[in-house]
Amino acid sequence: MIRKIPIDQLLPGMYVVDLHKRWLDHSIWIRRFKVRDDDHIWKLKDEGIVEVSIDTAKGIDLPPSPIARINAVEKRIRSLAEIKAEIPHTVSLGEERRRATKLLREASNTVSGLMLSAKAGLSVDAAQLEPVVSKMLESVTRNPDALAPLSRLKSEDAYASEHAVATAALIIAFGRQQGLPEPEIEKLALGTMVKDVGHAAIDARLITKPGVLSQAEFSIVQGHVEEGLAVLEATSRLPETSVAVVLEHHERYNGCGYPYRMAGDEISLAGRMAAIVDTYDAMTSARPYRAAMSPSLALRQLYEEGGKQYDPTLVAAFVKTVGIFPVGTLVLLESGHLAVVEQLNPDNMLTPVVLVIYHTGRQQYLTTPAQVDLSRKVGNHYGQIVRAESYERWGISALRWQPA
């Protein structure tokens, strides 16, 4: 569990994960460490650290206080109305997708405005994104199968802002799967929203250039990480977790990333998670220089790179987050029909709810598409999933058949 405490309560043996102070305001560059002794604590105080977050799973926790025990008893005797008030309000998948569509538009417009400000050399107020991030977290809490799948649908002329929003939606779902506290998830999402602000300082032709970049061109593109942080630090107060996302989303588990060539656990949890969602969304998005990859193939490639470019444990958790066949994936069934994945089955990722739309043998659409829960034998005349398919291969509109 992540716990935020004043520096005066810090003890040797505790594991620090956040110093709650901007990177440029102190000289401690190791962001995650176990406190060695009292001298170590005094060094932190000398650096102006006034509060920290600790991970009680990796180090000792605060000793329980009498007040804490009283509070625990009080929580057990809360009224039923209070308990019900804390349960998230759930809505139908269709209703949440309608809400999510509007929310994605709002988020994309906000990010676009910040990027335009950065390009014009104006102030970039990342705090504008905080209400949007809160709404996105609420959406994923109500129904996790709405926001992230819809965010995969992008228009090429707005890729930058829509990619930022899509990675935020993915990392919110990912963070919830990891059991992270909501404030930490919001910091992760804020970081993914602004992680590419530095692109504003780069010639757009380099970002979308087909083919391999020269070494000089690649060096320029790599510079967007620190350029973005410079812009944000000059105009915003970003939480440490958000800064880690900005700085580390291109670092790789085997040390072959940039800008600092960090490796393994040297990369923060935020950086390792951001690397996965950033790569996955880029792979599944159409770009001027290549077609979009199917979600299932993208997951397979990420899985194969687990232990190399990406944290293998986190890759496995991410696959569980989005599903082996993510919502919106076109799949071929044993009957020869094509279907679109509509909803995941948490108990069996191989048997989602699908909408059967097309017969490959007759090469025609069904008059009435059939919704089928593949986890149930009764009523399933189509068999199980054989493989994921490409919308382009069959000439089917991905936009038309996204679950609504």
In this predicted model, what pLDDT tens digit does every residue of 133-191 receive, in sequence order?
999 999 998 888 889 888 887 776 677 889 899 999 999 999 999 999 999 999 999 99
Per-residue pLDDT band at 83 (split at 50, 70, 90): very low
The torsion defined by the Cα of 289, 295, 300 and 306, in degrees rounded to 10, comes to 80
Q: 305, 303, 386: which is closest to 339 by C-alpha?
A: 386
Helices (H) and strands (E) counted in the chain, each on its own, are: 16, 9
Residue 2: its pLDDT value, please?
85
Quote the CA–CA distance of 357 and 340 in Å, as a whole number.
7
Q: Average of pLDDT values for 366-382?
A: 90
* Range from 30-44, 118-132, 287-301, 323-337 that averages highest in pLDDT: 323-337
Least confident of 28-37, 53-62, 231-240, 391-400: 231-240
Q: What element of type H or E holds 353?
A: strand 353-359
pLDDT band, residue 217 (cuts 50/70/90): low
What is the pLDDT averaged over residues 327-336? 92
Sheet holding 337-343, edge to edge: 364-373, 353-359, 337-343, 330-333, 385-389
Report the sign of the C-alpha dihedral through residues 289, 295, 299, 301, in that order: negative
CB 49 within 8 A of CB 7: yes
57-66, 193-202, 225-234, 342-351: segment of lowest average pLDDT: 225-234
**Among 92-96, 236-240, 294-298, 366-370, the range of highest mean pLDDT:** 366-370
The fraction of the chain above a pLDDT of 70, given in percent, is 80
Q: Is residue 291 packed enough to be buried (19+ CB in 10 Å), middle (13-18) or exposed (0-12)?
A: exposed
CA atoms within 13 A on the CB side of 196: 23
- Structure token pair of residue 212: 């391999």
- pLDDT value of residue 169: 95
Mean pLDDT of the chain: 82
Q: Which of 45-54, 62-71, 214-223, 365-374 has the lowest mean pLDDT?
A: 62-71
Beta-ladder partners of 364: 359
Q: Which residues contact 175 (CB under 8 A, 6 or more apart)?
A: 184, 185, 188, 189, 273
**Sequential DSSP letters for 20-35:** -S-GGG-S----SEE-
**Could you tell me if 333 and 357 are in contact, meaning their C-beta atoms sit under 8 angstroms apart?**
no
Q: Quick check: 231 pLDDT over 80?
A: no
Confidence of residue 87 (pLDDT cuts 50, 70, 90): very low
Q: Which residue has the tokens 């915003």?
A: 236
Q: How confident is the model at residue 48 (pLDDT cuts 50, 70, 90)?
A: confident
Look up residue 237 and give its amino acid.
Answer: R
Res. 128: pLDDT tops 60: yes
**Which residue would you say has higher pLDDT here, 292 or 207?**
292
What's the pLDDT at 70? 36
Is the whole model's pTM more than 0.75, yes or no? no
pLDDT at 173: 93
**Per-residue pLDDT, 228:** 66
Q: Is 124 or 179 the better-scoring residue by pLDDT?
A: 179
d(CA 195, CA 319): 23
Please state, in angstroms and rounded to a whole number, the distance separating the CA atoms of residues 178 and 270.
Answer: 12
Percentage, residues of the chain above pLDDT 90: 38
Strand partners, 58: none
Query: Tokens 């076109």 appear where?
Result: 330
Residue 82 has pLDDT above 50, yes or no: no
Residue 53 and residue 71 in contact, taking contact as beta carbons nearer than 8 Å: no
Q: What angle do CA 4, 6, 11 make, to 5 degrees?
A: 90
pLDDT at 337 exceeding the cut of 70: yes
State how beta strands 337-343 and 353-359 pair. antiparallel
**Cβ neighbours, 10 Å, residue 194:** 27
pLDDT value of residue 207:
57
Beta bridge partners of 316: none
